Amino acid sequence: MIQRRAGFTILELTIALSLIVVLSGLVVVRLSFGSSRQQTIDAARKFGNLIRTYREKAVNEERLYALRFDAATGKYDVFAAPGHALTAESMASALKSGVLAPPLAFGKTVSQTFEIPAPVTLVFNARGLLPDLQIEILNENGSRVMLRPDPLINEVYYDAP
């Protein structure tokens, strides 16, 4: 007479538990990408990368680049100067343009102790120096991130309270 066992083997239980962990991890990751705080942080990182990229290009190519962004419209443009000065002609056609998604907007831009009126133009030169400033990116749900490009080195710091 053959005796039957009831229950599962340890291998079957391990496989079932690992599948549950993987699927629950995917659900948590998918839910966290939709949060307003995460959208604000992602937009700030993209804008910070844009600043770092064109600042580095200006130093490597010894050419002037300008990044203009407007708090009223949420639009930003990157321009290149053919010589060593920005002119109306060089500011007429943008190398790259973009706009922050509708729930996101530029907040105030502060340089040392005073607020800079919109639109703001950052000029990247061959020396790579920038003024000491902070750029705020807001979400209509209340989350915000402050970007602070380092004046001397090509780094952007983020403060997300």
> Do 137 and 105 meet the contact criterion of CB atoms below 8 Å apart?
yes
Full residue range of the structural domain in which residue 141 is found? 60-159
In a domain, 40, yes or no: no
Identify the pLDDT of residue 33: 58
Decide which of 17 and 36 is more confident: 17
How many distinct structural domains can be found in the chain?
Answer: 1
Q: Write down the pTM of the prediction.
A: 0.73
Distance of alpha carbon 24 from the chain centroid:
28
In a domain, 48, yes or no: no
Tell me the pLDDT tens digit for each residue of 17-35: 999 999 888 777 666 556 7
In a domain, 131, yes or no: yes
In a domain, 17, yes or no: no
Closest by CA to 135, choosing from 121, 123, 125, 145, is 145
The CATH number of whichever domain residue 120 belongs to comes to 3.55.40.10
Closest by CA to 80, choosing from 99, 63, 98, is 63
In a domain, 107, yes or no: yes
In a domain, 64, yes or no: yes
Token readout for 24 is 């629950």
Identify the pLDDT of residue 18: 95
Alpha-carbon dihedral angle through residues 77, 117, 64, 96, given to the nearest 10 degrees: 0
Q: How far is CA 72 from CA 20, 96, 102, 117, 120, in A?
A: 47, 19, 12, 10, 11
Question: Would the pLDDT of 102 be above 80?
Answer: no
Question: Would the pLDDT of 1 be above 70?
Answer: no
In a domain, 129, yes or no: yes
In a domain, 38, yes or no: no
